[in-house]
Amino acid sequence: MPSLCLLIFLRALRGVPSRSCFEVPYPWPGFEPLAGHRDAQAGQCAGLCGERLVTPLVLMVTGGGRSLEDLRTLKNDTALNQVLKQDVLPSTDAVGDWLRRTGTGTGLDGLDRINRRAVATRIRQIGIQAHTLDGDASQIVAEKEAAHFTYQGEQGYMPMIGHLAEAGVVIHEEFREGNIAPATQNLEFIQACEARLPKGHRIAHVRLDSAGYQADLFNHCEDTGKTFAIGGRLDAPTLQAIAEIPESAWKTYADCAVAETVHSMNDTRKSFRLIVVKYPRQAELFDDSPKYHVITSNRVESAADTLIWYRQRGEVSENGIQELKIGFGMERMPCGQFKANAAFFRIGVLAHNLFVLFKHSALGEGWQRHPSRHRALAPVSPAGQARAACRRLGIEDRQREPRPVPQHPRPHFRLRYRQSQSLVSSSFTAETTPGAARHGAARFVPSD
């Protein structure tokens, strides 16, 4: 991302009415200055507090950085340093040391408080108090010596991420070891997400995949008045309930059939709806039975409406995680220590939420739904400004003229081959056509 875009991004955040996290007085609670660090360029000792370390990291991941070494690009940008009012930017070694200190200390709590301020600002923009929570775990592959193997057989981490569907921000994340199952402590995670909402706001709707198929979570939603749609599991009781559905209850669609029944678990205090989607399976050698997908819910509406609402989590949660990992570089962890990577991941979540706040505060409506930060910042980049000016003036982009077709086709040639120890031989001629000659291709036909 050009430095001009980062300057506009930083200026826009400082102009938010509620004031951004960059205006929080420093040092932040939990962020101890990294005193005694000798900067490589300045050659003198300098005390570096949270402002001088977090702000460059946020700008780095927003600008497309993938490793701590990309901080050198910011250090070489004189204009950006003047806006940041920093004479000396931290070196990569200083940032790595600070991440390790932050993860082992109380710095994670300080980052969490900053993220809550950004989320609260975005929530005030949308003006609602009942929110939809989309939670999901995502694997981060990291071949670190201390990283554990995930259930997918790869070494890395398995963070749990909660999105607010209406606001488009990450309300909370929990960085976990790779060997922790996605179904671990989902109820506690939902409670932690709700505790981070501003006063007067609540989680009214919950959408989870099959990792959330737990009796205590269902009971919590019923007790607190939350509606839910959670992926089910095809265990023996569920398959038995599906087998008892009469054929007349199935509603056929173009690619599937949908039916529903009432189901419960041993520890649930209330029964719930079991919506079954049956997909036809291509006939196989030993198994041609249909494929089932089940959704559990307590919503009062048609089965089709519940399915449509549940599948919206793919846009919010799954695509949101993809944007966080690919768009903001969280698919790669820089450190070998778990807690240091937890601090880096939380900074990436903060950068993501600040960019969402920037899109909805500074950009027009046409750019707010763009998933990629590069597309969203296209109108403020130099190339984007030139293209926008051409469109306003009615100037069309110059189209590249097609390559002329050769007047004379390529000469015919013969391709002969002989099979070893055989008296049979064949001859082929390569026939060229205008299209084939244009693309450097030929069609082989038997010669006379």
- pLDDT per position as a tens digit, 146-205: 899 999 899 999 999 999 999 999 999 999 999 999 999 999 999 999 999 999 999 999
368 in any annotated domain: yes
Highest mean pLDDT: which of 204-213, 282-291, 436-445?
204-213
How far from the centroid of its chain's Cα atoms is residue 63's Cα? 16
Same domain, 7 and 97: yes
Provide the 10 A C-beta neighbour count for residue 312: 14
Residue 279 pLDDT > 50: yes
Per-residue confidence (pLDDT) for residue 371, from 0 to 100: 57
367 in any annotated domain: yes
Q: The sheet that has 443-446: what strands, in order across it?
A: 414-418, 425-431, 443-446
Per-residue confidence (pLDDT) for residue 327, from 0 to 100: 86
**Across 348-372, average pLDDT:** 76
Same domain, 371 and 418: no
Q: How far apart are CA 279 and CA 288, in angstroms?
A: 11
Residue ending a domain, among 352, 372, 389, is: 389
190 in any annotated domain: no
Residue 410 pLDDT > 60: no
User: pLDDT: is 172 or 413 the higher one?
Assistant: 172
Answer whether 67's CB lies under 8 Å from 334's CB. Answer: yes
Report the mean per-residue pLDDT for the chain. Answer: 76
Residue 446 pLDDT > 60: no
- The token duo for 292 is 């089932």
Strand spans (E) along 175-326: 202-208, 227-231, 251-252, 257-263, 272-279, 291-297
Answer whether 430's CB lies under 8 Å from 443's CB. Answer: yes
**pLDDT band, residue 49 (cuts 50/70/90):** low
215 in any annotated domain: no
Same domain, 434 and 384: no
Per-residue confidence (pLDDT) for residue 155, from 0 to 100: 92
Same domain, 105 and 7: yes
The pTM for the full model equals 0.75
Same domain, 20 and 60: yes
Residue 390 pLDDT > 80: no
**pLDDT band, residue 364 (cuts 50/70/90):** low
Answer whether 433's CB lies under 8 Å from 443's CB. Answer: yes
Per-residue confidence (pLDDT) for residue 429, from 0 to 100: 40
257 in any annotated domain: no
55 in any annotated domain: yes
Q: How far apart are CA 302 and CA 295, in angstroms?
A: 13
Same domain, 18 and 87: yes
User: pLDDT: is 66 or 277 the higher one?
Assistant: 277
Same domain, 353 and 424: no
The DSSP H or E segment spanning 3 is helix 3-14
Residue 399 pLDDT > 50: no
Per-residue confidence (pLDDT) for residue 427, from 0 to 100: 39
- The token duo for 277 is 């989607």
Query: Which distant-in-sequence residues (6+ apart) come within 8 Å of 45 by Cβ?
Result: 35, 36, 37, 38
The share of the chain scoring above pLDDT 70, in percent, equals: 67
For 12-39, the pLDDT digits (tens) are 666 544 334 443 333 333 344 433 334 3
**pLDDT band, residue 372 (cuts 50/70/90):** low
Domain around 434 = 414-446
Per-residue confidence (pLDDT) for residue 14, from 0 to 100: 60
Residue 233 pLDDT > 60: yes
- How many C-alpha atoms does 227 have within 13 Å on its Cβ side? 11
Query: Which distant-in-sequence residues (6+ apart) come within 8 Å of 387 by Cβ?
Result: 378, 397
Same domain, 425 and 361: no
Same domain, 357 and 428: no
Q: What share of the chain is helix, strand, coil (3-state, %, to 5)?
A: 40, 20, 40
428 in any annotated domain: yes
**Across 218-224, average pLDDT:** 95
Q: How far apart are CA 350 and CA 357, in angstroms?
A: 11
**Across 327-338, average pLDDT:** 90
Per-residue confidence (pLDDT) for residue 132, from 0 to 100: 95
Q: How many domains does the chain have?
A: 2
The share of the chain scoring above pLDDT 90, in percent, equals: 40
Per-residue confidence (pLDDT) for residue 135, from 0 to 100: 93
**pLDDT band, residue 77 (cuts 50/70/90):** confident
52 in any annotated domain: yes
User: pLDDT: is 76 or 158 the higher one?
Assistant: 158
**Across 95-123, average pLDDT:** 87
Per-residue confidence (pLDDT) for residue 286, from 0 to 100: 57
Same domain, 102 and 19: yes
Same domain, 365 and 420: no
Give CA separation, 164 vs 23, 259, 372, in Å. Answer: 25, 29, 18
Residue ending a domain, among 372, 389, 406, is: 389
For 112-129, the pLDDT digits (tens) are 988 999 899 899 988 899
Per-residue confidence (pLDDT) for residue 442, from 0 to 100: 42
Same domain, 14 and 103: yes
Give CA separation, 203 vs 127, 178, 319, 338, in Å. Answer: 14, 28, 21, 30
Per-residue confidence (pLDDT) for residue 72, from 0 to 100: 81
**pLDDT band, residue 267 (cuts 50/70/90):** very high
User: pLDDT: is 214 or 47 the higher one?
Assistant: 214
- Measure the N-to-C terminal CA separation of the chain; round to a whole number of Å: 61
